[in-house]
Each structure stands twice: as structure tokens, then as C-alpha cells.
Amino acid sequence: MKNVLVTGATGFIGKNLCGVLSRKHVDLNVLGRKKTGFNAKFHLWNFEGDLDPDCLHGIDTVFHLAGKAHALAETNQDVDQYSYINTDATERLLQACQKAGVKTFVYFSSVKAAGDIEGSMDELVSVLPDTPYGQSKKASEELVLEGGYVPHPVVIRPTMVYGNTEKGNLPKMIKAIDSGKFPPLPEVNNRRSMVHVDDVVQAAMLAAEHAEAAGQIYIVTDGESYSTRQMYEWICEALHKPLPVWNLPLFVLKLLAKVGDLIGALRGRRFVFDSDGLDKLTGSASYSSAKIERQLGFKANRNLREALPEIAQYLGVLK
């Protein structure tokens, strides 16, 4: 990589990726709605219309992170909006890359593109996505891998990404536990895969640099899976808070989730806790990153328990 363009450079993963690329002294370009704090050439694009062909002149590698994220607060997701921002815009970018002779295109997708099943999933397991977000990501993956736009297309599917950010369910959980507003959950032995942002960036770099990655999909995890109860206990540990001597029974959580569903239906916007929120707490979403470990030599350097004190300090809640 010598001349690189990043979309979504102002996002959580994008900022960390640009930081690594800057230290590699590549010719860094960013494409999006606003400039970043990095020493990079900025090109304006708001996902509408064709791209300025000059923004891809001389570019050999594109990391495409921009898109509409999974909006958890929506009760009814806008199919057309997800398709326009995530799929149609990706197609226009790919067409511009083809005209400019870009060699490598690394697309940041999501494990939601493969749908949801019971048990651990790898790249060979796939069911139809059941959300507009997942469907738009799946359609984009097909464009990247099957469209013939670039000689080295790669798809990265991160699991839940953690690290120093204010956004996402994990920071909310940490703040709620710190303020005493998060009840002690029972151990239901659910399993959830996660990955530190540093390791997502590492995986993307490997995918861009290894010829074996061309045409491949890679799920990225930190090699472990966690129950929500484990996460609760480790957050208390990181915050130096004693574990409560009681647990909130599962049947109470289910009852509260049903009430939340009703409130969300009445107001047209998800309530702070509903059945989907309960599934995030007690359901499983387990994935394997054995393929990228085997093919590209990926090895996660971070794990959740060790990262939690740093995250808590970033959030300003560590006593």
C-alpha cells in the first residue's frame, strides 16, 4: 500500500485505521462528508451522485467503512435508506474504482450479513438476513466480491467491536453499572463474540496486504466469547465495585421486555428496554475467526477483560 483512500474515516474504526495508516507513512486520502484530524487529503462525498474521478487518481487501496449503521432505536427500519446508503453508494464507489484502476478494495461489512442461527457461525454458514441493515450489507458484499470491479476484493465481518468510544451498548452498560442503574443479571450461559478495534484494524491490514485474501470473506473476533454475566462481573472489577449479593430473576426481565415492546409500539420508537434489548443481554451470537487466523496469520492481541479498565478510564468513570 502506497496510496490509500478511506471512507468513513471519522467513525470509530475509521479513526483507528487512519491512525495506523498515518504511522505507515502512506499517501492517505479520506472520502466523506467532513474532514478528519489526520494529515490526509480530503475529498467531499455525501453518498449522492457520482464521485469526482480525481479522488481516486493514483489510489491503489480503498478501505470502505462509510455507511448507515444498524439503528437500534428504530422500530421500523427504512429499507430504501439502508439500500441507498449501504448498497447503492458502494456500487458507485466500486464503479469509480474500476475506472481508476484501483487494485485492492477492503469492505467493512457485518456479521449481520450472514443472518442469525443457533450455535457458532463461520464464513461457510449463511442464512438470509432478516433485517434491512443485514440485507443491505449482504447485497454490498456480493457487489464487492462478484462484481469484478477490482482484482483484490475482500470483505471483513467484525463482530461487536469494543475499545475507546462513547458509542455502542458496552459503553452504555459500563456507565449504567457505574451509576447503579444496571441490575445484576443472572448467569444464563449465553455466548457473544467481540473484538477490539485494534484487532479489526490489524485484520483489515492483513486482508489488504496478503494475496491469499483476494475474493475472501473474513469474520473477525478476539478468539473468545463472553456471557453477559461475565461482562457484568468484569465491569464491576474494572470499576472497583463490589458484586451485589442478589440477581434480577430472568422472568422479571422477560416481563419488563414485554412492557417495553408495548410502549415502543404505542410511541413508534423503541423503548429503552424491550424484547430485542433482552436478546442482546441474554441471547447468543457466537462466531469463529479460525479462517483468517489460518489463512492470514491473524492473532488477536486484545481481550475484553484486560481492555475494560482502559475503556472505563476513557469514559471517565474509573474511580
Q: What 3-state DSSP class applies to 305?
A: helix
Show pLDDT as tens, one digit a residue, over the chain (319 residues). 899 999 999 999 999 999 999 999 899 999 998 887 778 999 988 877 778 878 999 999 999 999 988 665 554 557 888 998 899 999 999 999 999 999 999 999 999 999 877 778 999 987 888 889 999 999 999 999 999 999 999 999 999 999 999 999 999 999 999 999 999 999 999 999 999 999 999 999 999 999 999 999 999 999 999 999 999 999 999 999 999 999 999 999 999 999 999 999 999 888 989 999 999 899 999 999 999 999 999 999 999 999 999 999 999 998 6
SS3 category, 289: coil
**Domain at 3-165+192-225+286-303, CATH homologous superfamily:** NAD(P)-binding Rossmann-like Domain (3.40.50.720)
Q: Chain centroid to CA 43: how far? A: 24
Q: How far apart are CA 43 and CA 248, in angstroms?
A: 51
**What value does the CA radius of gyration of the chain take, rounded to a whole number of Å?**
20
State the burial class of residue 268 (Cβ atoms within 10 Å of its Cβ: 0-12, 13-18, 19+). Answer: exposed
pLDDT at 244: 93
Grid cell locating 200: 479489526
Domains of the chain, by residue range, sit at 3-165+192-225+286-303
pLDDT given for residue 115 in this prediction? 83
Nearest-angstrom CA–CA distance, 16 and 19 = 5
Positive or negative, the CA dihedral 53, 51, 139, 195 is positive
Q: What are phi and psi of 288, to 5 degrees?
A: -115, 135
Look up residue 170 and give its three cell numbers: 458496552
Return the closest-CA partner of residue 219 out of 103, 125, 119: 125
**What's the one-letter identity of residue 74?**
E
Cell readout for 300 is 488477536
